[in-house]
Structure 1
Amino acid sequence: MSPVDERGASAGDMRSCAAGFVARVTARNRLPLDYSVASLRVVDFLVDGLRKGGGERERVLETLFGLGAYVGEVLVRRAGAEWVDLDADQRACFGQPVAVRMPDGRVWNPVGKVQNRFDLGGPGESLRTFYLTLHGRARRAVA
């Protein structure tokens, strides 16, 4: 079982998971993690820093999960998504216990997207671009 699965994360945990991650990261640094779309550039920068620092995926998995929770929470607050628990088949497909469902019913995997950014890098895996090109967003920002 991977460390992410061992966390036993559920949809109901993800908002507090994101908030806890932001509190830990911003306590030491002045990072503008304010749940804005623009803050997703900071997430790209942080993931790239983990990659360039030579971090092995297993050693940074908790940080990647926290960043994924943050990205998902941006989708919840800005795009009208909601956190959902995945069933067994979806968990096998996404490799995660939770995802977000957009207003049009599509399910997206922000934790997996962050992990892809770490594994693959490059502008094609940008989390800001992911948001901007995401299908199923609400037309107006959700508070």
Structure 2
Amino acid sequence: MSRMDGRVPGASEMRSCAAGFVARVTARNRLPLDYSVASLRVVDFLIDGLRKGGAGREQVREMLFGLGAYVGEVLVRRAGAVWVDFDADQREYFGQPVGVRMSDGRVWNPLGKVGNRFELGGPGESLQTFYLTLHGRARGVVA
């Protein structure tokens, strides 16, 4: 996954990637992408729509990247996470260059979770459920 210019952004750029994605998507549609936990249901719905539309992963790569950046930013704003650049072992394990670290030190891969929802679908891959069952989540954080 990458941005339009083909370069994969680092952790320091993910907040702006999420904001740019939200601006682009909400300019065309009235989607409630407000970085709330409830908005993760919208993300689930959008990914399910991409799946039902029959698009291949490569065709929706940029959309999935944007949704992953958005999910990660929800974790940052609502769960006390921070964006981090993965080390070599984490990159190999997660298949992504960036993710989030929770206040308890656990790392999560929101870009990969979005990809899993697209590939596998179903309630077991819900991003809202992922957030609600997330270990290491701080309560009541708004950044």
After TM superposition, is the score higher than 0.5? yes
* Structure-1 separation of matches of 2:51 and 2:34: 23
Q: CA RMSD in A?
A: 1.1
Instruction: Give the C-alpha shift of residue 9 in structure 1.
Output: 1.1
Instruction: Give the C-alpha shift of residue 56 in structure 1.
Output: 0.2
- In structure 2, the partner of 1:66 is 66
- In structure 2, the partner of 1:45 is 45
Instruction: Give the C-alpha shift of residue 104 in structure 1.
Output: 0.3
* TM value normalised by structure 1: 0.95
Task: Say yes or no: does 1:136 pair with 2:111.
Answer: no
CA shift digits 1:76-123 (9 cap, x unpaired): 000000000011111111011100000100000000000000000000
* Structure-2 separation of matches of 1:140 and 1:53: 36
Give the partner amino acid of 2:2: V
* Structure-2 separation of matches of 1:36 and 1:117: 19
Unpaired runs of 5+ residues, structure 1, are none
Unpaired runs of 5+ residues, structure 2, are none
Give the partner amino acid of 1:55: A
Secondary structure at the aligned position of 2:58 is classed as helix
Secondary structure at the aligned position of 1:4 is classed as coil
* Structure-2 separation of matches of 1:13 and 1:133: 27
Instruction: Give the C-alpha shift of residue 8 in structure 1.
Output: 2.3
* Structure-2 separation of matches of 1:94 and 1:139: 26
1 or 2, which has the higher helix percentage? 1
- In structure 2, the partner of 1:84 is 84
Map residues 26-41 of structure 1 onto 2, 5 A cutoff. Answer: 26-41=26-41
Q: 1:4 aligns with which of 2, 14, 25?
A: 2
Secondary structure at the aligned position of 2:77 is classed as helix
* Structure-2 separation of matches of 1:27 and 1:139: 31
Indicate conservation of the 8 Å contact 1:4/1:96, yes or no.
no
Task: Say yes or no: does 1:57 pair with 2:76.
Answer: no
> Identical aligned pairs, as a percentage?
81
Q: Structure 1 stretches (4+) deviating beyond 6 angstroms?
A: none
Aligned residues: 141
Give the partner amino acid of 1:115: G
* Structure-1 separation of matches of 2:128 and 2:139: 17
